Amino acid sequence: MTDPLFILLIGILIVVGGIIGLRLHPFLALLLGAFVVAMVTPTTAIEQYVLSRGGTAAAAQALADKAVGERIAMQFGSTCEKIGILIAMASIIGKCMLESGGAERIVRSTLKVTGITKAPLTFLGSSFFIGIPVFFDTVFYLMIPLAKAMAIRIGKNYLLLVLCVTAGAAMANSLVPPTPGPLFLVSEMQIPIGMMMIGGILVGIVTIIVGYIFAAWANRKWPVPLRDSIEAPLEKIKALSSGKSQSLPPIWLATLPILIPLVFISAKAALNTFANVQTDSSPGILITIVDFLGEKNIALVAGALSALIMLALKNKGDKKALLASVQAALMSGGIIILITAAGGAFGGMLQQTGISERIGILTQDFQMALIPLAFIITAVVRTAQGSATVAMITASGILSGMAISGNLEYHQLYIGLAIACGSKLIPWMNDSGFWIVCKMSNLTEKEALKTFSPLLTIMGISGLIVILLAAKIFPLI
């Protein structure tokens, strides 16, 4: 009854059964799953969870002594801390870009360069390279208004555009530093950061090509219409798409809400990765500005302010219209924050059961080649508890000793890349990213499980195949 695998099964049944079978709202189903998992988790498992992450015995005892509701609230709040401001600001950016015509201006400018037929490939490549310095969720927030405007413009392929954005950003997030997962792999497995960046980009390009093929097939088999929503009413998007170009904002102003967060977040990531700035030194004014504005919450706030200015100029200073737009955006964003935070609480309760350590014990003596073993361990941990970063950290902790000290016939880079690709399997309802994609793109849970989840799984598996071939042909030792 207290085995983490059994508790995991209970949690899966409650959440999936509640949402799909009983038609519960995802927020309620996730919270119910979190409460049940938390109640059946033994105190010893909670204490061991804290100790395994470097916590003190006092901290372990303190967490174990907390009531079930307190532990869930802590994880709920922790997720809100990470994504609350981001989602709220992203909702404002999306709403303002759509209503001001900024998204329509970008779409029209893009179509002039690429043409309609190549628009999805443009979204795919853009999201991958934007996703190298920027978190997956931030990329998705910034690109989804453009996907909606583009879908209205070309009259089809909304699901294809959404999956292209998802495919590019998700693979870059796990494969290429300086995002946290790859950075941890670099340090834990002693992989040169430049080698990880080049290897991650090369594997990532192959995987997103495979992802595009699946996305195009899924778009033909299960076409998803662009649905009406509070933050993006179809009537307004259609009206803007049929309007004259002279009524739209200039391209430099239209791109500011995206460029401001992207440039400053990327600049800060580059500064932290490549520049040796000491904390006791006196950094120049430019470094100080980049360090301040490059913090993701500040960057999104700055982007939202530029979007509000653009909408205010469009409405000629109409305060009532501006207020109505902000309220609609925050209403929609609030629901997404609640669902995503509940997903984080459910995943957090699963982690406290010791599911990661349990899987590590089951696989540590498994006689299998190291590359597929690394992939499988990461995939199982990711599927079990929802976080790709936690899965990467868990797998690298299990395998780093063998990868560094073992007599490998190939560079340990390939172990790191296998762990990164394994972290893509299998996103479902215990993953906050699943809910971000599902709710911001207006996909139903069934649609997301049929398209988004297989997309990442297929890309992860294709990455494993590429890594195995590369390790054989180019061992790099």
Which tens digit of pLDDT belongs to each residue from 245-254?
A: 777 888 888 8
How many domains would you assign to the chain? 2
Range of the domain at 187: 83-336
Residues 145 and 194 in one domain: yes
Looking at residue 449, what is its pLDDT?
92
pLDDT above 50: residue 149: yes
Domain boundary among 305, 336, 367: 336
Residues 15 and 164 in one domain: no
Domain boundary among 312, 336, 360: 336
Confidence band for 367, pLDDT divided at 50, 70 and 90: very low
Read off the tokens for 165: 């954005």
Residues 187 and 140 in one domain: yes
Q: Please state the φ and ψ torsions of residue 252, each to the nearest 5 degrees.
A: -65, -40
Indicate the burial class of 282 (C-beta count within 10 angstroms; 0-12, 13-18, 19 or more).
exposed
Q: What is the mean pLDDT of the chain?
A: 82
Q: How many alpha carbons lie under 13 Å from residue 194 in its C-beta half-sphere? A: 1
Looking at residue 161, what is its pLDDT?
93
- Rounded CA separation 249/1 (Å): 61
Looking at residue 278, what is its pLDDT?
47
| Most confident region among 234-243, 263-272, 401-410 by mean pLDDT | 263-272
Looking at residue 96, what is its pLDDT?
84
Distances (CA, A) of 9 to 21, 72, 95, 265: 16, 19, 39, 39
Tell me the average pLDDT across 148-162. 87
Looking at residue 279, what is its pLDDT?
46
Q: Considering the entire predicted model, what is its pTM?
A: 0.72
**Helix/strand/coil for 430:** coil
| Most confident region among 4-13, 64-73, 399-408 by mean pLDDT | 64-73
Higher-confidence residue: 5 or 41? 41
Residues 96 and 52 in one domain: no
- Rounded CA separation 144/165 (Å): 8
Residues 392 and 294 in one domain: no
Confidence band for 203, pLDDT divided at 50, 70 and 90: very high
Please, which residues have CB within 8 angstroms of residue 337's CB and are 6 or more apart in sequence? 80, 83, 84, 87, 88
Residues 324 and 344 in one domain: no
Please tell me whether the peptide bond between 42 and the residue prior to it is cis, using omega within 30 degrees of 0: no
pLDDT above 70: residue 406: no
Q: What does the radius of gyration of the chain's CA atoms come to, in whole angstroms?
A: 22
Residues 343 and 301 in one domain: no
Looking at residue 100, what is its pLDDT?
82
Looking at residue 241, what is its pLDDT?
64
Confidence band for 411, pLDDT divided at 50, 70 and 90: confident
Confidence band for 84, pLDDT divided at 50, 70 and 90: confident
Residues 431 and 355 in one domain: yes
pLDDT above 80: residue 343: no
Residues 127 and 163 in one domain: yes
Of 78, 216, 102, the residue nearest 157 (C-alpha): 216
pLDDT above 80: residue 27: yes
Residues 400 and 465 in one domain: yes
Residues 409 and 315 in one domain: no
Domain boundary among 280, 304, 336: 336
Looking at residue 341, what is its pLDDT?
82
- Rounded CA separation 386/379 (Å): 10
| Most confident region among 56-70, 171-185, 314-328, 427-441 by mean pLDDT | 56-70
Confidence band for 194, pLDDT divided at 50, 70 and 90: confident
Higher-confidence residue: 457 or 369? 457
**Of 81-85, 262-266, 389-393, 472-476, minimum mean pLDDT range:** 389-393
Looking at residue 242, what is its pLDDT?
64
Name the packing angle between helices 180-188 and 158-175 (round to 10°).
30
Residues 166 and 304 in one domain: yes
Looking at residue 407, what is its pLDDT?
66
**223 conformational bin, left if phi > 0, alpha if psi -120 to 50, beta if neither:** beta
pLDDT above 50: residue 303: yes
